[in-house]
Amino acid sequence: MNYTSDLLRTLDERGYIHQLTDAEGLDALASKEIVPGYIGFDATGPSLHVGHLVSIMMLRQLQQAGHKPIVIMGGGTTKVGDPSGKDESRQMLSDDQISANIASIREIFERFLTFGDGPTDAVMINNDDWLGQLGYIELLRDVGPHFTVNRMLTFDSVKLRLDREQPLTFLEFNYMILQAYDFLELSRRHGCRLQMGGSDQWGNIVNGMELTRRIDGTQLFGLTTPLITTADGRKMGKTASGAVWLRSDMLSPYDYWQFWRNTQDADIGRFLRLFTDLPLDEIARLEALEGAELNEAKKRLADAATAMAHGQDAAEAAAATAQATFEGGGAGEDLPTIAITDPISILDAYLELGLVASKKEARRLIDGGGARLDGEPVDDVNLMIEPGDKPRRLSAGKKKHGLVTKG
């Protein structure tokens, strides 16, 4: 389809659109007026991770196209827990924990969106503002009649849990009703016309549209993104060492930069379109590079993604550290570092630097030939590292490095 609105044309060209409820209707609306659109985020922890980034970028694209991003923090729904893609119930959090998580997550969004009181400025809203005020009987009476258990059992978030014979609590079963109610309230309070999210949220989005149409007669729209996987089929943002967090106190800007620098060749063009603001013609040039020249594209991706999440200074520092470490043979300033005053075993050094998860893993690394000290192979699991005037660089394979310095 040839879209006329900047919003849908951009989302389409950059690969964000998977499902769209009424393409022509939304395209026409976005061509003539400001469209407030929202995405919801759980407040289960103090940080979001790279798996959330495509949703964050969609809100960014919405704002850049002249529309209004609404960030919904699930202060209310976090107390229930989204069963989508989960095999077990989430841990219950206190109100204070949820509030602290929301404050922490807001700092992430302030890197990607412009907040304020203007017509296209982003706003962050806690759905506990209305969900926390609902009476149980009121909700059952006003909203309950618009949902059938028969249909609710067909949604993936419920069906997959039951197919795996994992328990689904009545609390979690209510999640889709509460999320649908969010769309109704946002339509009433903020004129919100669009909900976006990952493809696993399609059922929840459609529920909210239908509920609002039945109760208020308002037409709303839904848009989902494809599940973002890497070229080898892994879920985006999951690594052997854990989640790729968007807060610098949970993952250093250097490690974040390295995550993007290590993108597989086949993913470069797609990730540049989804996760940077680089112009499409420049992305086309970069993804057409071949062989060793592809490293330029990977560095551009790492620079742009890190600058967006952590600032230009952090991106430049990470790139300089990488160059010193990999190309110049130097130590680099942003690598994980431990300071010692007494000799430390090679196994303890690997473990304390976070390059391995256990001493057993460090032994396997050494036995397998993947351990290096200052660029030289290590074959002795009993090796001791002495405090010295110069930093010693430990490497686990080609991509993970750390420094041992004199304390």
Active site residues: 44, 49, 52, 86, 90, 179, 200, 235, 238-239
> Phi then psi for 256, rounded to 5 degrees?
-65, -45
Q: How many angstroms separate the CA atoms of 40 and 230, rounded?
A: 24
Parallel, antiparallel, or unpaired for β 194-198 and 36-41? parallel
Q: How many angstroms separate the CA atoms of 340 and 337, rounded?
A: 10
Which amino acid is present at 128?
D
Q: How many angstroms separate the CA atoms of 119 and 219, rounded?
A: 21
For 175, 317, 403, 407, the CA distances from 305, given in Å and listed in that order, are: 33, 14, 25, 34
Among 370, 295, 357, 352, which Cα is nearest to 326's? 295
Q: Report the chain's C-alpha Rg in angstroms.
A: 24
Residues 6 or more apart in contact with residue 115 via CB below 8 angstroms: 109, 121, 122, 123, 124
Q: Which two tokens stand for residue 181?
A: 């109610």
Among 212, 194, 247, 144, which Cα is nearest to 16's? 194
Q: How many angstroms separate the CA atoms of 348 and 68, rounded?
A: 51
Distance separating the N- and C-terminal Cα atoms of the chain:
63
Q: Which two tokens stand for residue 157?
A: 């978030």
Kindly state the DSSP code that residue 174 receives in the 8-state scheme.
T
Sign of the alpha-carbon dihedral angle for 109, 229, 225, 126: negative
Question: Whose structure tokens read 């699930």?
Answer: 74
> Phi then psi for 132, rounded to 5 degrees?
-70, -15
Q: Is residue 283 helix, strand or coil?
A: helix
Which amino acid is present at 318?
A
